[in-house]
Chains A and B, each alone.
Chain A
Amino acid sequence: MTTYHLRVNGRDHAVDTDPDTPLLYVLRNDLQLNGAKFGCGLGQCGACTVTLGGEAVMSCLVPVSVVGNRAVGTVEGLGTAKAPGVLQQAFIAEQAAQCGYCIAGMMMRAESLLAKNPKPTDAQIRQHMMPNLCRCGTHMRILRAVRRAADALPAKGGKA
């Protein structure tokens, strides 16, 4: 067991865990953050997507020991149920969920696009979301929600 200092959603945390523990388990079990989810543990489905240094990553593949001082972003950092952020508002407005299990990962995947390109084309959104799976078939609404969030953001970019 080693102590790791992580910066998650802008806050510092100290976590005692084994060096090979994937970030996904640290977020869920040590920090009680529910957004990132276990889907496969193999980086194939995206349910565990978070941002690391602004890039979307599969947190099931990130051992906590490589994170270092890079900023970790999860869906909890986008807003709360009482004060949802732009992306969250868009997903609620579009009712973009059926079982909803994939949605937090979808949102962080979208967040990594909108943070770099606040005005993506529909084709760019579709292409960017490829690594994330949805089994319920909510894709059309997810695309509309990302589109809606992009339309709501200022052109220069801003936190989604």
Chain B
Amino acid sequence: MDPAPRPRTPQRRTRLIVLAVLVLMAAAAFAIMWRPAIEAQTAVPVFDAATVERGQRLAMVGTCAACHTVDPSRPYAGGFALATPFGTVYSTNITPDARTGIGGWSEAAFTRALREGVSRDGHLLYPAFPYDHYTQLAQDDIRAMYAYFMTRPALEAPAHKNEMTFPFGFRPLVAFWNMLYLKREPWQPVAGQSAEWNRGAYLSVALAHCTACHTPRTKLGGTDFSRHLDGGEAEGWYVPALNEHNPSPVPWTRDHLAEYLRTGIAPDHAVAGGPMQASVENLRLADPKDIDAIATYIHSFLAKAPPRQTRAAVPGSLPAPAADDPDLQRMQLGHAVYANSCARCHEVGRDNTSGAALQLQKAVALYDPDPRSLIHIVRDGIAPPDGEPARWMPAFANILTDEQTGALAAYLRRYGAGQPQWEHIEDQVKKAKQP
């Protein structure tokens, strides 16, 4: 006997609609998140020397080695741990090793990774790899860099497992981030700007990805386009604004900036530390004309910074704290630390050595909105790359206690920079100690 057909109650219909919508959404999500694999190539193409060399110059501007080279004996073998708000991402092996690197990647696969953030086998790459910048590269440039990377010595180095906080370990979620932040538009020069400015703009935006650190990110980790070059953070450091909010006490000239990008030092002005050091190590090997162009572009924003009231123009020793300073005890401790630990190099200096260091009234880190970079510089120092000559500030992490470090930062902010006091200095010192 036939059971009576079940009536289509409104609840049941709602449920069916909801189910249908969910299935559709799942299908849509799947469509968004899933990417096909591109077949591995077996024969490596041949490249002409000029293209390879052009690719090398471009890769220096891209500062690829800053993340993809950890051990200078094993270039591009990956393994660099980048701490992000979403977990720790490890860079991968981009040598042309067939099994553990990109040896099987065709130019199409390489291009897709740079433009769309998709690996050859279809899995999505975390935007710690700044494909949201590389996406605007001209195909010729991608081709040249492909030629460069495919002609590097192949090294065996399997990818290190990432340590992502839940749920970001689920890579396909990145597709949604891409919907918000990956703008698949080709690069457009800006009318009314010089050829050099536009060249610098292209290189900065599409390749050197300056704004990846120098522009703030949203809560979801995307670029906040409304605050171009308004400063950011990287690896626990504050990254300075490069626009009218640039904190530098001494106005940047374009030549200063070009020299800084090429050498890591703007004399009597600034020294590259922390994450910027790795960038400079690459930029100094780029085509100098390209560096000049980037300097021209960036300087067009830096030049908007208004002149400030700072102590930078006041030469000589930093003063003892005023007797009526409301924070006198901490200031006295900070001054003592400064006078006994820092002044030896930062004031008197020793001729022609690393000991002849910047007078701190001029140090950019003192003018940052927060003390993170100063604390890192004091704790970690600034050391030369392996076996290469450079300036060297020693590390004071195990020399100064937390209290001494915090007091030093507070003292320098007030009596070195003459700026409103930073908040939560002690918390920042504690945070800086975490690996």
Measured CB to CB, the residues of A under 8 A from B are: 19-20, 42-44, 52-53, 55-58, 61-63, 65-66, 68, 70
Contacts and interface: CB of A to CB of B under 8 A. Distances in A.
Contact of A63 (B340, B394, B395, B398): B340
Given A20-B343, A56-B398, A63-B341, 14 more contacts: A20-B339, A42-B354, A43-B381, A44-B394, A58-B394, A61-B341, A61-B394, A61-B396, A62-B399, A63-B340, A65-B340, A66-B399, A66-B401, A68-B401
B353 A52 contact: no
A57 B398 contact: yes
A24 to B, nearest CB: 12
B337 A66 contact: yes
Contact of A55 (B337, B341, B398): B398
B81 interface: no
Contact of B392 (A44, A52, A63): A44
Interface residues of B, number: 21
Interface of B: 336-337, 339-341, 343-344, 350, 353-355, 381, 392, 394-396, 398-401, 404
A103 to B, nearest CB: 21
Contacts of A42: 350, 353-355, 392, 394
Nearest to B355: A42
Contacts of A53: 398
Nearest to A64: B340
B341 A66 contact: yes
Nearest to A44: B392
B336 A43 contact: no
5 contacts: A42-B350, A44-B394, A61-B341, A66-B337, A66-B340
A66 B342 CA distance: 12
A70 B350 CA distance: 29
A61 B399 contact: yes
B401 A57 contact: no
A57 to B, nearest CB: 5
A20 B354 CA distance: 19
The 5 closest A-B pairs by CB, nearest first: A43-B394, A63-B340, A55-B398, A20-B340, A57-B398
A52 B399 contact: yes
B399 A65 contact: no
A55 B400 CA distance: 12
B336 A19 contact: yes
A65 B335 CA distance: 12
A60 to B, nearest CB: 9
Contacts of A63: 340-341
B399 A19 contact: no
B51 to A, nearest CB: 38
A55 B401 CA distance: 12
A65 to B, nearest CB: 5
B336 A65 contact: yes
A68 B400 CA distance: 10
Contacts of A56: 398
Contact of A20 (B344, B355, B381, B396): B344
Contacts of A61: 341, 394, 396, 399
A119 B434 CA distance: 24
A122 to B, nearest CB: 16
Contact of A66 (B353, B354, B355, B400): B400
Nearest to A59: B399
B344 A52 contact: no
Contacts of B392: 42-44
B70 to A, nearest CB: 12
Nearest to A21: B340
Contacts of B394: 42-44, 58, 61
Nearest to B345: A42
Given A63-B341, A66-B341, A57 B355 contact: no
Contacts of A58: 394, 399
A70 B398 CA distance: 11
